[in-house]
């Protein structure tokens, strides 16, 4: 089974690439989805986050108020490291479970969609690292438009992640997503062929 690490900064279009790969038949493990799962209401993960950051990070319904938590951790590297120390081990454990399940089911290509792959030095865990690459200003524009996030907030998120050059340096394969959705679809089709060749 070919283990693929798929990464790209906020607004790069990584989620669109991972959805397209899933439609081709890849098994996709989404690190963000797992990160939400491990801090869902009633989990030990959420209890630990509240103990660390206070009741102010809870929404009225008892779920994690992500924007409130984001405002704390994205402005302070030490607090972000504290959050990661709670979430990352739980994500790693759940991912290992899902990976074992995919392998047992005979998957040919396993795509691990992980935003902070480069930042956390996870490249050695994968057979192939795929980076979805998009110019920073295009990312700012996309995220502001699609998520309604103020541009300066998007820039702060981008600044908290690996820069473009560092991310590209870790890539085995690069998907350029600076153009249209149609162009991206063609590039993902090429990527899928390349992954199947490697899996064989």
CATH of the domain at 186: 3.40.50.300
What are the pLDDT digits (tens) for 58-109? 999 999 999 999 999 988 989 999 999 999 899 989 989 999 999 999 999 9
Tell me, yes or no, whether 60 lies in a domain: no
Tell me, yes or no, whether 125 lies in a domain: yes
pLDDT score of 16: 95
Q: Tally the domains of the chain.
A: 1
Tell me, yes or no, whether 15 lies in a domain: yes
pLDDT score of 97: 93
Where residue 115 falls among pLDDT bands split at 50, 70, 90? confident
How many Cα neighbours within 13 Å face the side chain of 28? 20
Tell me, yes or no, whether 83 lies in a domain: no
Tell me, yes or no, whether 6 lies in a domain: yes
Tell me, yes or no, whether 46 lies in a domain: no
Where residue 160 falls among pLDDT bands split at 50, 70, 90? confident
Instruction: Evaluate whether 168 touches 174 at the Cβ level (below 8 Å).
Output: yes
Its pTM stands at 0.82
Expressed as residue numbers, the domain containing 15 is 2-26+107-199
The beta strand positions in 68-188, using DSSP E, are: 109-113, 128-133, 173-176
Tell me, yes or no, whether 19 lies in a domain: yes
Tell me, yes or no, whether 95 lies in a domain: no
């Amino acid at each position: 089974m070919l283990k693929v690490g798929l990464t790209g900064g906020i607004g790069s279009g990584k989620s669109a690439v991972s959805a397209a790969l899933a439609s081709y038949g890849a098994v996709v493990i989404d690190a963000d989805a797992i990160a939400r799962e491990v801090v869902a209401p009633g989990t030990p993960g959420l209890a630990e986050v509240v103990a660390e950051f206070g009741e102010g990070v809870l929404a009225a319904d008892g779920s994690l108020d992500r924007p409130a938590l984001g405002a704390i951790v994205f402005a302070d590297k030490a607090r972000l490291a504290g959050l990661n120390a709670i979430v990352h081990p739980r994500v790693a454990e759940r991912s290992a479970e899902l990976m074992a399940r995919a392998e047992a089911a005979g998957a040919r290509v396993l795509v691990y969609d992980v935003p902070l792959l480069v930042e956390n030095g996870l490249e050695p865990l994968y057979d192939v690292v795929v980076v979805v690459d998009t110019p920073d200003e295009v990312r700012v524009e996309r995220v502001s438009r699609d998520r309604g996030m103020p541009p300066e907030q998007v820039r702060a998120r981008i600044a908290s992640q690996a820069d473009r050059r560092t991310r590209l340096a870790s890539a085995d394969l690069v998907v350029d997503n600076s153009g249209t959705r149609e162009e991206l679809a063609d590039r993902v089709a090429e990527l899928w062929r390349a992954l199947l060749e490697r899996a064989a």
